[in-house]
Structure 1
Amino acid sequence: MKSNILIVEDHELTRFGLKTAFESCDFIDKIYEAESAEKGLEIATEQEINLIIMDLGLPGMNGIEATKRIKDLNKDTKIVILTSHNDEQEVLNSLKAGANAYCSKEINPKRLIQVVQSVLDGAAWFDPSISHIVLEAATKSQNIAQTKSAKDYGLTSRESQILKLITEGYSNIEIAKELFVSINTTKAHVASILQKLEVDDRLQAALKALKERLV
């Protein structure tokens, strides 16, 4: 099934380059564009958007606030932050707002397409340049002693194995291939993991697993 994406970027040349890159992708149906967060919100409300590529430094409302509002409207909409900013607070605020991926604008276009495919499939992705920020934030408030284990949450050995792959950014398809199981079996395990950890999505599961050292 093809997906509709929305590019929210105030620089016309960057927007054009992104649109051109994704026009050749066979998994993309329609590509929408917005030069501001306000316009992006309008499109996200009126159209069926599966994934949004969001800049942070937008005129008026910034990308973090736009991400939060869009997630409030529809938590299933995937959001990929694409920015030149690697400020620690902006990274953490973006993830807190619900972003599914955080990419530097220096990313190779082919790699960005791969990231978008993975996020559409349910994966979370962090640019290597900011991964240390995510890990430090996840463990900052954690005591050296582990307070809970995977067994405390009722996770099976297979679910623990899948949770580890989720923290490494594997998509459902990649997990299925890695473990030689069907995609439906993988989805069932992921759903069970989210329920047992009492989180809403894979990103929250990954952060909780890192923070509480479940993997």
Structure 2
Amino acid sequence: MTKPNAPLRIDIASDVMCPWCIIGYLQLAHALEATGTAHEIHWHPFELNPEMPADGQNMREHIIEKYGSTPEQSEASRRQMTEVGKGLGFEFSFADDMRMHNTFNVHQLLHWAEQQGRMHDLKLALFEAHFTHRRDLSDNNILAEEAAGIGLDKSEALAILEDQRFADEVRSVEHFWLQQGVRGVPAVVFDRQHLVTGAQGVDNYTRILEQLNEMSS
């Protein structure tokens, strides 16, 4: 239980390939601001497609294949996400040639950024790189450029991706969250004990935060 006046710990398992992860985070961020909740956010790795090859798969084909969606349903979903994103200040630039990618290297880069206190900034930059600018996050050079874009060392970013020095640690953290029963993202854990899965909307997140604030007061 959070001590009175202590920041609320929020753990978020997510993947930068997941559009609902950035939507859910921004909804939560709006709710945190509206309620004035002191908080600390901790991001954790989750791979939507751990078996996906490095070069990935066309995003629309992948969604249709994985979830059984029709092309019409896929298009409607993209329109919905684009509108929701716009309302939250985020631009989705979906295109027919967009691809899903394996994100194991992404999570290793984020793990490295966390050691320098910059995981949050890099996480948001990578969401924007993928969904707004349609950058290929399976390309280590592009990942290193994104790291450099928030002020991290580009050559060091490339080095950690090439030698895979954080591979075991990232796999261990991924395994931990799977053991906790997380099978879909975003998975948000408040105060280490209240799990909420999926983008809940600003109003629902606001109610959750109000209840947690009452419990800790």
Report the TM-score, using the length of structure 2 for normalisation: 0.27
Report the TM-score, using the length of structure 1 for normalisation: 0.27
Which structure is richer in relative contact order (CA contacts within 8 A, separation 6 or more)?
2
